[in-house]
Structure 1
Amino acid sequence: MGAPSGRGSAAVPIRKLAMDLSPALPIRLLIVDDDPQIRAMLAEYLATFGMEAEGAEGGTAMRAAMSKQEYDLVILDLSLPGENGLTLCREIRESSNLPVIMLTARAELADRVVGLEVGADDYVTKPFEMRELVARIHTVLRRSRADVRRPAPAAPGHEVRFAAWRLNTTLRQLVDAEDTVVPLSNAEFRLLLTFIEHPNRVLDREMLINTARGRDLDVFDRSIDLLVSRLRQKLRDDPRDSALIRTVRGEGYVFTGTVEH
Structure 2
Amino acid sequence: MTENQHHILIVDDDEQIRRLLRRCFEGEGYRVSEAQDQDGVDEVLSSGVDLITLDLNLGRTDGLSIARAVRQGSDVPIIMITGKGEMIDRVVGLEIGADDYIAKPFYLREVLARVRSVLRRAPHSAPSKIESSNSNHAKFDGFDLDFARRKLTGPDDLAIEITSGEFDLLVLFVNHAHRVLSRDQIMDLLKGNEWSPNDRSIDNQIARLRKRIEIDSGSPRLLKTIRGAGYSFTPDTLTI
- Equivalent pairs counted in the alignment come to 131
Q: Distance in 2 between matches of 1:108 and 1:57?
A: 22
Which aligned pairs between 1:63-78 and structure 2 lie closer than 5 A? 63-67=42-46, 69-78=47-56
Which aligned pairs between 1:53-202 and structure 2 lie closer than 5 A? 53-67=32-46, 69-145=47-123, 148=125
Q: Distance in 1 between matches of 2:101 and 2:58?
A: 15
> Structure 1 135/93 Cα, relative in aligned 2: closer, same or farther at 3 Å?
same
Query: Which amino acid is the alignment partner of residue 144 of structure 1?
Result: A
Query: Which amino acid is the alignment partner of residue 66 of structure 2?
Result: L
**Gapped regions of structure 1 (runs ≥ 5):** 1-21, 150-156, 158-169, 171-192, 194-261
Query: Which amino acid is the alignment partner of residue 25 of structure 2?
Result: L
Tell me, yes or no, if the aligned pair for 2:12 and 2:36 is still in contact at 8 Å: yes
Determine what percentage of the aligned residue pairs are the same residue.
40
- Report the counterpart of residue 235 of structure 1 in structure 2: none
Q: Secondary structure at the match of 1:120?
A: coil
- Report the counterpart of residue 43 of structure 1 in structure 2: 22
Q: Distance in 2 between matches of 1:25 and 1:86?
A: 27
* RMSD (CA atoms): 2.6
Q: Distance in 2 between matches of 1:110 and 1:70?
A: 30
Offset of 1:24 from its aligned partner?
7.3
Q: Distance in 2 between matches of 1:117 and 1:24?
A: 27
Structure 1, residues 135-183: CA drift from partner, whole Å, max 9, x if none? 00011111114x649xxxxxxx9xxxxxxxxxxxx9xxxxxxxxxxxxx
Q: Distance in 1 between matches of 2:48 and 2:83?
A: 27
Structure 1, residues 4-63: CA drift from partner, whole Å, max 9, x if none? xxxxxxxxxxxxxxxxxx427711111011111111111011111111111111111111
Q: Distance in 2 between matches of 1:107 and 1:42?
A: 19
Q: Distance in 1 between matches of 2:3 and 2:82?
A: 32
Offset of 1:70 from its aligned partner?
0.7
Q: Distance in 2 between matches of 1:52 and 1:134?
A: 14
Q: Distance in 2 between matches of 1:138 and 1:24?
A: 8
> Structure 1 58/132 Cα, relative in aligned 2: closer, same or farther at 3 Å?
same
Structure 1, residues 171-200: CA drift from partner, whole Å, max 9, x if none? xxxxxxxxxxxxxxxxxxxxxx9xxxxxxx
